[in-house]
Amino acid sequence: MDILIVIMDGISGRPTSSLNGLTSLQAADTPNLDRAADKGVSGIMDPISPGVRPGSDTSHLSLVGYNPYSTYTGRGPFEAAGVGIDVKEGDIAFRCNFATKKDGKIVDRRAGRINETSELSKAIQRETKEIDGIKVIFRESTGHRGALVLRGEGLSSRITGSDPKKPGLPTKKIKAIDPVGDKTAEIANKFIEKAESVLENHPHNKKRIEDGLPPANTVLLRGVGEVPSVVPIQDKHGLDSAIISGTGLMKGIGKLIGMDVIEVEGATGSKDSNTMNKARETIRQLKENEKDFVLLHLKGGDEAGHDGDGAAKIQYIEEKIEPVIDYLLKEIEDTLLVLTADHSTPLDVKDHSGDPVPITIVGDGVRVDDVNFFNENTYKGGLLRIKGKDLMPICLDLTNKCNKYGA
């Protein structure tokens, strides 16, 4: 039996007066999610621990069996892995923003949400291959984003970032938090200086100024972290694994723990994503590529939750998730199907909350319960209340893939 975990990012919430005291999941028409619950065993799950507000990154790590408190060293390493940099244990990694600086101050933290930075990034990389004997890797990501990796001896993530967080302030000088970070801070500051001198006279920026657009004339360094030591998922769980996600951060997590990161046409990591393409690719990975485990990440509900947009969240559930569940229920064979979320994103909070998420597990051998709906009330089901770290052991057990502990 294979394992398919569908993570509907931020899909659960809290009851809200804007939906007559319901949550988005309760207000949406969800015959296919409900059908799955009817066929399976349900419950609620604290992705990390009761009341803890997870990021999508820390939660995903927990759900696939990695302790986020030891594995998650910052967002940088996961972003860098997500843009395709082959990060190595001990690398120091940052997520970056292309930004616009004027008279020494950051006037736009996203350089007018610049969309195309590959030429700029290549130019930066050409001039910054090495600084003070340290290898430097810089690569563009989607939109105004990029990632930076420093590799070599004597580096440390005990440094601050350069992002002033709001416009109108100068770039912050990167500083060591303790002396072990001195060298890294110096190199990071030198990188920014070199990047700025490359960007200042780059034709792409001259063109942007001519077009009345803010030039991408500096790079902000954020989310620094040291690439952690990670046991690959194949060794940890014995599963040949793939992740299907439109989100760079999730791809980075998948890559860092050794999953195949599958690119799907039309997967945007947003509400407009082609979720059916992702579903078809999921089935193909299980059936044709013979993956043991696929994690399918569907992001749009979280985005709508962050916007506090109930109509958009309901529409995403009904139009982007429901057809996927219908298709998966029809197409999966000999596969344990898990439907859940990485955290709640209530409309009134407009951010992640620490509320538990619903979970339903469908497959041969599960102890089917009375729950025939998929929403925040699945606490009435046979799983009761579990933790995110319990999910992989439960899946491995239900698919008879785990070793007996004892005799």
Scanning 101-109, 126-134, 227-235, 379-387 for contacts with a second copy by CB under 8 A, the matching segment is 379-387
Member of 55, 84, 143, 238 binding a second copy (CB under 8 A): 55
Beta bridge pairs of residue 384: 43
The reply to whether 285 sits near a second copy by the rule CB under 8 A is no
Scanning 82-90, 125-133, 155-163, 352-360 for contacts with a second copy by CB under 8 A, the matching segment is 352-360
The residue among 15 and 84 lying less far from a second copy, judged by its C-beta, is: 15
Member of 29, 31, 50, 206 binding a second copy (CB under 8 A): 50
**Element (H or E) spanning 251, and its range?**
helix 248-256
Scanning 98-106, 170-178, 230-238, 365-373 for contacts with a second copy by CB under 8 A, the matching segment is 365-373
Instruction: State the CB neighbour count (10 A cutoff) for residue 118.
Output: 11
The reply to whether 73 sits near a second copy by the rule CB under 8 A is no
Member of 1, 18, 39, 53 binding a second copy (CB under 8 A): 53
Member of 204, 274, 348, 372 binding a second copy (CB under 8 A): 348
DSSP assignment of 298-322, as one string?
E-HHHHHHHTT-HHHHHHHIIIIIH
> Least CB distance from residue 375 to a second copy, whole Å?
10
The reply to whether 327 sits near a second copy by the rule CB under 8 A is no
Member of 1, 15, 164, 323 binding a second copy (CB under 8 A): 15
Q: How far apart are CA 371 and CA 157, in angstroms?
A: 47
DSSP assignment of 94-146, as one string?
EEEEEEEEETTEEEETTTTT----HHHHHHHHHH-SEETTEEEEEEE-STTEE
For tokens 């979720």, the residue is 275
SS3 36: helix
Q: What amino acid occupies position 147?
A: A
Instruction: State the CB neighbour count (10 A cutoff) for residue 397.
Output: 12
The reply to whether 254 sits near a second copy by the rule CB under 8 A is no
Beta bridge pairs of residue 385: 44
Member of 115, 265, 290, 405 binding a second copy (CB under 8 A): 405
Scanning 100-108, 277-285, 315-323, 342-350 for contacts with a second copy by CB under 8 A, the matching segment is 342-350
The reply to whether 170 sits near a second copy by the rule CB under 8 A is no
Side-chain-side CA neighbours of residue 34 (13 Å)? 10
SS3 281: helix
What residue ranges bind a second copy (CB under 8 A)? Answer: 14-15, 21, 23, 44, 48-59, 68, 72, 75, 223, 249, 346, 348-349, 351-355, 365-369, 376-377, 379, 382, 384-387, 390, 392-398, 400, 402-407
